[in-house]
Structure 1
Amino acid sequence: MEERYNPADVEPKWQAFWKDRGLFKVTEDPSKEKYYLLEMFPYPSGKIHIGHVRNYTIGDVVVRYKRMQGYNVLHPMGWDAFGMPAENAAIDNNTHPAAWTYDNIRAMRAQLKKMGFSYDWDREIATCRPEYYKWEQWLFLKMLENGMAYRKESFVNWCEKCQTVLANEQVEQDKCWRCSQPVHQKKLWQWFFKITDFAEDLLVHCDLLPGWPDKVTVMQKNWIGKSVGSELKFQVADMDEEIEVFTTRPDTIFGATFMCLAPEHPLVETLCQGTDQAAAVADFVEKVAAQERSLEGLEKYEKEGVFTGRFCINPATGEKIPIYTANFVLMGYGTGAIMSVPCGDQRDFDFARKYHLEIRVVVQSEGETLDPDTMEAAYAGPGVMVNSGRFDGMDNDTAMEAITDWLAAQGRGKKAISYRLRDWGISRQRYWGAPIPVIHCPDCGVVPVPETDLPITLPEDANLLAKGGSPLPTLDYFKQTICPACGREDARRDTDTMDTFVESSWYYLRYCSPRYESGMFDPDAVKYWAPVDQYIGGVEHAVLHLLYSRYFMRVLHHFGMVDFKEPFTRLLTQGMVCKETMTCPEHGYLFPEQAKKKGDDAFVCTRCGKDVEVGRVIKMSKSKKNVVDPNDLLEKYGADVTRLFCLFAAPPERDLEWSEDGVDGSNRFINRVWRRVLECMEKIDTQQVAPFSGPAGDLKNPAAKALYIKTHQTIQKVTADIDESFHFNTAIAAVMELVNALYTIDLDTSDKETNAVVLAAINNMVLLLSPFVPHFCEELFEKMGHKGSVLAQPWPKFRKDSLETDQALVVVQVNGKLRAKFSVAADTSEAVIKETALADENVVRHIQDQPVKKIILVNKKQILVNIVV
């Protein structure tokens, strides 16, 4: 008998078997129920990390389980290949993004295949290939034609290091989501997608996603940010301009004593022209442009502003009030203009005190009189209206609607809804992306590229600029072109590229028909496969990628291209993989291999021998060097042990704490199963004995009956844990208990009944384990005399008449410390219980050669065996 499982021989063997027989290739089959599982595709960095391994293993378990249940399963893989990371890496490595990307794809594809993931590689896509991005260029043209894409000059989020614009969703705590450098405002012409057209629909459907985690839908709701209030118009004095304001507190309009505009507001420059404030305003706008411009960033700066030199008319009072531009007003929220009511808003109150502006009380608690000269803070609570003309004495809640209706009758206001969500700016001033398919003509303006000219191919021979700026504007052969409308020869192509999130907003549909040449996808294939039944990926994409994907489906639904709006029926956001940091006083952070163990919890630096400080457990990060290389794990343990640890150490949605001991434990379990199955096959004559499949009540031998019941309980538990909760850790724990039960059976018996039950147990155990450790189980399945693949076997079904048991749990202690647990029939003799306890592998290890002084057995609800040595 082979004593140990050898992954180096077994795993390549079965990977070749799966490939040669095309077991993971699928086509549409209306006679079978489909199941589409997808993990978020990776950026081709060149190396898979342990987070990838965990993510893709989770998906692979479900896919293999569903296949055995008879589903027609789609499980594709591809590459999110465009974007700044590849471009920046290429600059750092003195190579080209195309060469860098394609080399990395080859390396990562080989690594994923080595893990044994069940992908249909015939459906592989890379978003940087023209045959892919041609179709998003086509969709861009269709959106442009229908007013869903537009171009405007505006202040945008600019990252100096990345030399590009960022969408609002890509600014995290006022920093670039890619490089973490501060973002500032810059005025540019940009292309936008009108995602705001679907704001309400996106919001409403957040409550119609029962398969999504609540935390994700809450994040999406907050980002969309619906507010109900009023839209009011303030006429600029002595000008034809109007300032629109959205407010949730129209009851306070009589207390609006000044107006504040965001420095980026398009009226700011117009208002100050011809006044003695023009220079001061220009200086202030330039100063604020260098500041962090977000809700969080506002808290870092003192509230400041500059008078524009102009006034507007309060539509309720008819008074002239000064217009300021202030750094606490953001263009990305509301209309970029705020009617400032210092009596009711603390920010306005502080600003008014600083610049000696009027504070007028309009809402106060009943029975209380507020004095604006002595108030120390704004009052934002409910109360009674004062200093508000005909509305005096009315409670402020009632006044909100009454004042809005009154202003609406005069054409100066209306009820309105505002959203935090802003249109998606998709222009990027970088090279490695899909070119925007428009031409700029001196006579015709913006002209769409004819569909027959698609794709507009990114020139892959361009030399990158050292600081990251795009070379496209410098390439005459790309930029210079002929206007398709009038034939002018001095027209130019748009040299911006699309945000990389455009590619990832529809890739899941391309997988349904990746070689389709007549459109974005084959409608019949999408009708069969889509939407995705189960999507798996990190919660860091809760707003960006997921919101954009939901938006794209609404665009396609609007065009009649799909009959659904939500791309992902169920969503699992897996936790992070974490590990403690190790720091040397001389060499700083150390990689795990740079710290040598010295005692149970102590380490020394391999470079200098100094004691290493073991830090807290945090997310694995290259910068902190607390990373584990999957290649090292594959070399030492093989794919299946690595997979098993990732699944057993924590539920998928929780963070996983890396543990070398945990990996060793998974390896020991694998080999424990290996030994027991091969022992059983050596001692049981399968020519004479068939696996038992009847009801447990037909069994006479108590031990066999207990094992049979345990087998069906395990089938029930594993099935429920995969189906209902993806709690693979408890499913694996249930199989471990079954293995323990198998080790309690005496294989020296010639009892055919017991042997038949053992055969049933190991057959089912191998099938239950196969989604978790597929190579291992394929090998055992073959050694048990079966033909073909485990994947072709139906998923085990439990017998309801074989779930009940008269069993007792035995808890074994050695010198008072828990060392083992197992179950026995309730009528098992004390002698057998003691023998079983002494034979347990873990108990034997803790007794070693020490003489057993006595065995204490307490038989109550559970049996306690305490072995004293």
Structure 2
Amino acid sequence: MQGNERECRARWEHAFEADPVESKEKYYLTVAFPYPSGAMHVGHGRTYIVPDVLARYQRMKGRHVLFPMAFHVTGTPVIGISKRIANGDAKTVGLYRDLYRVPQDILDRFTDPKEIVRHFSEEYRRVMQKCGLSIDWRRRFITVDPQYSKFIEWQYGHLHEDEHVVRGAHPVKYCPQCENPVGDHDLLEGDKAEIIRFTLVVFSWNGAKIPCATLRPETIYGVTNLWVNPEVTYVRAMVDGEEWILSREAAGKLNLQDHNVTVTEEIPGTVLIDQTVSHPLSGDVPVLPATFVDPDMGTGIVMSVPAHAPFDYIALRDLQQQGKYTSLRPIPLISVEGYGEIPARDAVERAGIRDQNDPGMEALTQEVYSAEFSRGKVFEKYGGRPVREARDDVAALMMERYGSIPMYEFDNRQVICRCGGRVFVKILHDQWFLEYSDPCWKEQVKTQLERMSLVPPEVRAEFDRTVDWLKDWACTRRVGLGTKLPWDPTWIIEPLSDSTVYMAYYTISHHLKAIPPENLTPEVFEYIFKGEGNPTTVDRETLDAIRSEFLYWYPYDYRFSAKDLISNHLTFQLFHHRAIFPQDFQPKGMVVFGMGLLNGAKMSSSKGNVFLLEDAVEEFGADTVRMFLVGSAEPWQDFDWRNELVSSTRKQIERFWNTVTDARQAEGAYDIDAWLASRLQRRVESTTKAFESFQTRQALQEAFFGVEADLKWYRRRLPEGVAGGAVMQDLCRTWVRLLAPIIPFTCESLWKDIGGEGLASFAPWPAVDESRISPEIELAEELLERTVEDIESILKLIPMEPKSISLFVAPDWKHEAFRIIAASTDKTRVMREIMQNEGMRKRGREATDAAKQITKLVLKLPPELVKQILESTLDEQAILEGARQFLEHEFRVPVTVQDAGESTHAKASGALPFKPAIVIE
């Protein structure tokens, strides 16, 4: 097949270059452009192949499709990679040499980050072409192209003018090694880490301050003790001129958060044990030992509230069971429905927690915290307010009167920069932020979300949640590749912030390549995108042509991207579209992908758990890879790549090829042909419906496995020695087109072989021919097929060789009962409805027994089949009698068909509508 692949790629070279055609309906879909810092793996393959399948489908439906691609190279990731390679980092060098198989002479040049970009952007394009992606490559760009930078400058000029970009001081993710704030795309680990604001509750001891970080300042009234890890060496430090005791790690973190910190001496944790500390709101409390205290979390010293914190409760219980600190008792201060006076104790004892090392402690802690926050109230003597109100009030009181300050931490995640250095939270000053916290801007985005189509629909809640909690976003960096901030060029716009409206840039990017970047002034983009102004650096005829193309394609119809980007890129681009473009140019829809697994484990290039896409194509063929990635799960579901399953996919394509090739010789006409033609119309209808709903897996199920199942029955029903009638040729011309979006290389070759005109990629999508649909014929074959299956099931259970088969079809009165039962809206009252029928009433117990069996059958059959039976005038006896020769050939014994109502055989009474009684002797 590889020869066919090369031939197809040559035929497709310029086939998918899409220029506006005013007479045709456009369809513009985009997918998140890749960051080419390493080789593509099969997870990338799914990301780009699924949109390609849908682009190909839409082309065949007659729409004019734009499917562009570019490469995202801004930011610091490639800089970090080049530094590690330059420093001889063995892991990085090994990754690029061994996994990505970069030739040594090229790897030697990777000390220049632009060489990494150059190499992998070309490799991505080459592999995408090998996969058959129907991309308009004329529009390709990289995000450091000078023309693209001019587009970003125009965008940010708008955002700044409209006060969506503001200057201020905010906590951000920061890499001290790079001396730069970092975004999620800059990280090796912890890309989903959130910055959490803690309150430092400051206790006093011997003239020094001992701070404890908490998310629950309202629980200060219930503190019984502090926890210190006796195995940790703490430090005494001057913090903003005051003497503090805390962990060395905490001192370093506070130094990044607007505090002047100088460490003066070390203090063993054992020195602090059994000391007494005090706070005005809790009084004097002792310091107790606890090895669970992490010096790298908060300040390394923890305040203990055993009435409301399961960890504190069980740690104190463990000590008291050793006969220590037995005078300490939990101090309850919050009442919450579902728990007793001491919620932490209730939760621990109900869960049967043994000790503080029990793996269920984390979940239990979250359960109690959530319950208290959502429906808890502090006791009357502490104000009687809901916890959610008391928390903020007490924090404000501590800040105002008791020396508390905020401290920022990540939510229990290790965050590592691509340079390999650890990332911390830093307060940045004079930084530029996108003001996503602006409530008016948020409301505009929410309104737009309501107008959009989101696939699957359940992601809407995640988008709404993201819009609600999204805070101001640091949009600039000091170092990295990218566009300089136009009004403050000492800053560079960071990667997630320069990739928000590039979908609009695609529509005109191929035109801009011919224009010197210095001529692309903000006025030029203002005219192109808004039709305003009178720019002079580009001639009006060119500008009008470029604007006309933008107006033809925009807005995009659907954008495809991974679900983990809802929390940043996918939501950011909605904010930016609302800020820059009028309503007519707002996005129409988004499809959100699931994640990729390899043999059940999450794919990760940095951990080496990947299977390279090019290797997959070389080993299995492009169409096999495409068919597996499309068919293993719906786009929004996680998929699992397993080589053994991919191998079976290749065999399926071979069967398809052989069937279509052999069908060229089919001729003649047979009774069963009408059934196959009718079934084919159903497959066309259901495949089309699936594609329209982005259900690519379901489309494949119908277009391949459904048709194949129909063919299996069709061949079985043909006379012995006959391969098929002329209907097979019609089926194959339709079948090739149904599968062309999914396995285009195979279908392109077959389309040519069977005399199809032009490229299969542009062949008209099959339309349902209503005149060829025959519900009665389909229902008759359904009855026969189910009867054959029932006979086969019985034969498996009997040890003897059969001598004859008798089929008893249900009498008319049972069909009447079936109609009554199937039409009933309340199956619990159906017996009453049966007995209201005079004919049934006369049959008495016979009718009630039959009604029970028919009710079970109706509930078991697919609802659509029940509906078809109700609407039909099927003569079951005539159908089975007409198929008697087929049945005798199948089972090699005489077959008789009788009306059960006219038979005295004991088993004849078991005949039901659409389920004959079967007697094998």
Per the TM superposition, whether the score is higher than 0.5 is yes
Partner Cα separation in structure 2 for residue 254 and residue 662 of structure 1: 60
5+ unaligned residues in a row in structure 2: which ranges? 86-106, 200-213, 226-237, 259-268, 273-277, 284-292, 320-326, 349-367, 402-437, 440-466, 513-519, 531-546, 798-875, 893-910
Aligned residue type for 2:120: N
Select the structure that is richer in strand: 1
Does the Cα contact within 8 Å between 2:624 and 2:646 map onto a contact in 1? yes
Report the Cα offset of residue 342 of structure 1: 7.0
Distance 2:643 2:335 in 1: 64
Which whole-Å CA distance do the structure 1 matches of 2:645 and 2:891 have between them? 25
Residue 576 (1) aligns with residue 596 (2): yes
Query: 5 Å matches for 1:118-267?
Result: 118-152=134-168, 156-160=172-176, 164-167=180-183, 177-178=187-188
The CA deviation string for residues 58-95 of structure 1, in whole angstroms up to 9 with x for no partner, is 11111111111122222111111223332233331443
Alignment CA distance shift 1:348-1:104 (3 Å): closer
> Given the superposition, is the C-alpha separation of residues 670 and 375 from structure 1 closer, same or farther in structure 2, using an over 3 Å criterion?
closer
Among 738, 742, 766, the alignment partner of 1:772 is 742
Q: In the superposition, relative to structure 1, how do residues 346 and 642 fare at CA in structure 2: closer, same or farther (>3 Å)?
A: closer
Residue of structure 2 equivalent to 1:841 = none
Contact 1:225 / 1:419 at 8 angstroms: preserved in 2? no
Instruction: Give the structure 2 partner of residue 286 of structure 1.
Output: 251
Distance 1:834 1:52 in 2: 53
Q: Which residue, out of 768, 779, 795, partners 2:765?
A: 795
Q: Within 5 A, what are the aligned runs for 1:677-756?
A: 677-684=660-667, 701-724=670-693, 725-727=695-697, 728-731=699-702, 732-741=704-713, 743-744=715-716, 755-756=725-726
Q: Indicate which of 507, 513, 528 corresponds to 1:512.
A: 507
Q: How many Å apart are 1:777 and its aligned residue?
A: 1.4
Residue 541 (structure 1) aligned with residue 565 (structure 2): yes
Query: Following TM superposition, by how much is the alpha carbon of 1:121 offset from its aligned partner in structure 2, in angstroms?
Result: 1.1
Deviation readout 1:345-387 (Å, 9 max, x if unpaired)? 649999xx99x99999876689x9989xx99999956468533
Q: 1:772 to 1:738 in 2, by over 3 A?
A: farther
| Residues 445-481 of structure 1 deviation map (CA, whole Å, 9 limit, x = unaligned) | xx646xxxxxxxxxxxxxxxxxxxxxxxxxxxxxxxx
Name which of 467, 472, 485 aligns with 1:437. Answer: 485
Query: Do the aligned residues in 1 keep the contact of 2:737 with 2:766 (CA within 8 Å)?
Result: yes
SS of residue matched to 2:381: coil
- Contact map agreement 1:43 1:80 (CA 8 A) in 2: yes
Deviation per residue, 1:294-320 (Å, 9 max, x gap)? xxxxxxxx9x99xxxxx9999xxxx9x
Which residue in 1 is equivalent to 2:7? 13
The equivalent of 1:502 in structure 2 is 497
Q: Extract unaligned runs of 5+ from structure 1.
A: 1-6, 171-175, 184-218, 232-245, 259-270, 294-301, 306-310, 320-327, 439-446, 450-493, 580-616, 686-699, 818-823, 839-857
Identity, % of aligned positions: 20
Contact 2:687/2:700, CA 8 A, preserved across alignment = no
Q: For the Cα contact (< 8 Å) 2:69–2:139, is it kept in 1?
A: yes
Q: Please tell me whether residue 551 in structure 1 is matched to residue 599 in structure 2.
A: no
Change in CA separation of 1:827 and 1:430 when aligned onto 2, cut-off 3 Å:
farther
After superposition, what is the alpha-carbon deviation per residue over 1:500-520, rounded to whole angstroms, capped at 9, x for unaligned?
212322222211221344228
Matches within 5 A, 1:111-122: 111-122=127-138
Aligned-residue offset at 1:26? 1.9
CA distance in 1, matches of 2:569, 2:388: 42
Alpha carbons of structure 1 residues 667 and 835: separation in structure 2 relative to 1, 3 Å: farther
Alpha-carbon distance in 1 for matches of 2:80, 2:36:
13
Distance 2:630 2:615 in 1: 18
Which residue is 1:642 aligned to?
Answer: 625
Instruction: Give matches, 1:400-411, under 5 Å.
Output: none
Letter in 2 for 1:807: E
Matches within 5 A, 1:352-751: 380=372, 382=376, 386-387=380-381, 396=385, 420-431=469-480, 433-437=481-485, 448=488, 494=490, 496-514=491-509, 515-516=511-512, 517=520, 518-519=524-525, 522-523=529-530, 525-546=549-570, 550-558=571-579, 560-563=580-583, 567=587, 569-579=589-599, 617-622=600-605, 627-684=610-667, 701-724=670-693, 725-727=695-697, 728-731=699-702, 732-741=704-713, 743-744=715-716
Q: Amino acid of the residue matched to residue 712 of structure 1?
A: Q
Q: Which 10-residue stretch deviates more, 99-108 or 138-147?
A: 138-147
Cα distance in 2, alignment partners of residues 349 and 750 from structure 1 = 79
Question: 1:168-220 CA deviation, whole Å, 9 max, x = no partner?
Answer: x67xxxxx73256xx9xxxxxxxxxxxxxxxxxxxxxxxxxxxxxxxxxxx9x
How far is 1:541 from its partner?
Answer: 2.3
Indicate the residue corresponding to 2:233 in structure 1.
none
Question: Structure 1 residues 735 and 54 mapped into 2: Cα distance closer, same or farther (>3 Å)?
Answer: farther
Q: Which has the higher helix share?
A: 2
Aligned to 2:353: none
Supply the distance in 2 between the matched residues of 1:26 and 1:343 (Cα, whole angstroms). 67
Contact 1:225 1:421 in 2 (8 A): no
C-alpha change, 1:224 and 1:420, in structure 2 (3 Å) is farther
Measured in 2, the distance between the counterparts of 1:51 and 1:834 equals 51
Tell me, in whole angstroms, the C-alpha distance in 2 between the residues paired with 1:660 and 1:637. Answer: 9
Equivalent-residue separation in structure 1 for 2:733 and 2:346 (angstroms): 80
In the TM superposition, what is the alpha-carbon distance from 1:149 to its structure 2 partner? 2.5
- What CA deviation, in whole Å up to 9, does each residue of 1:502-556 have, x standing for no partner? 232222221122134422864555554344333323333232322xxx3344344
Q: 1:767 to 1:281 in 2, by over 3 A?
A: closer
Cα pair 2:630 2:696 within 8 Å, conserved: no
Q: 1:382 to 1:794 in 2, by over 3 A?
A: same
- Structure-2 separation of matches of 1:106 and 1:765: 35
TM-score (norm. length: structure 2): 0.54
Determine if contact 1:578/1:620 at 8 Å carries over to the other structure.
yes
Tell whether the 8 Å contact from 1:37 to 1:535 is kept in structure 2 after alignment. Answer: yes
Task: Give the Cα–Cα distance (whole angstroms) in 2 for the partners of residues 75 and 11 of structure 1.
Answer: 20
Task: Using the TM superposition, give the Cα deviation of residue 660 of structure 1 relative to its aligned residue in structure 2, in angstroms.
Answer: 3.6
Counterpart of 2:97? none
Match of 1:782 in 2: 752
- Give TM-score scaled by structure 1 length: 0.57
**1:55 is aligned to 2:20:** no
* Deviation, structure 1 residue 807: 0.7
The answer to whether the Cα contact below 8 Å between 1:577 and 1:657 also exists between their aligned partners in 2 is: yes
Mean alpha-carbon deviation: is it higher for 770-779 or for 784-793?
A: 784-793
Q: Partner of 2:29: helix, strand, or coil?
A: strand
Match of 2:543 in 1: none
Paired residues in the alignment total 618
Q: CA deviation at 1:557?
A: 2.6
- Indicate which of 24, 27, 34 corresponds to 1:42: 34
- What is the rounded CA distance, in whole Å, between the counterparts of 1:376 and 1:637 in structure 2? 54
Contact 1:254 1:387 in 2 (8 A): no
CA spacing shift, 1:348–1:141, aligned 2, 3 Å: farther
Mark the CA change 1:146 to 1:648 in structure 2 (over 3 Å): closer, same or farther.
closer
Q: Is the 8 A contact 2:475 2:493 kept in 1?
A: yes
Report the alpha carbon displacement of residue 436 of structure 1 after superposing the two structures with TM. 3.0
Shift of 1:788: 1.0
1:749 to partner: Cα distance = 10
Aligned to 1:593: none
Query: How far, CA to CA, are the matches of 1:375 and 1:766 in structure 2?
Result: 65
Partner of 1:72: 64
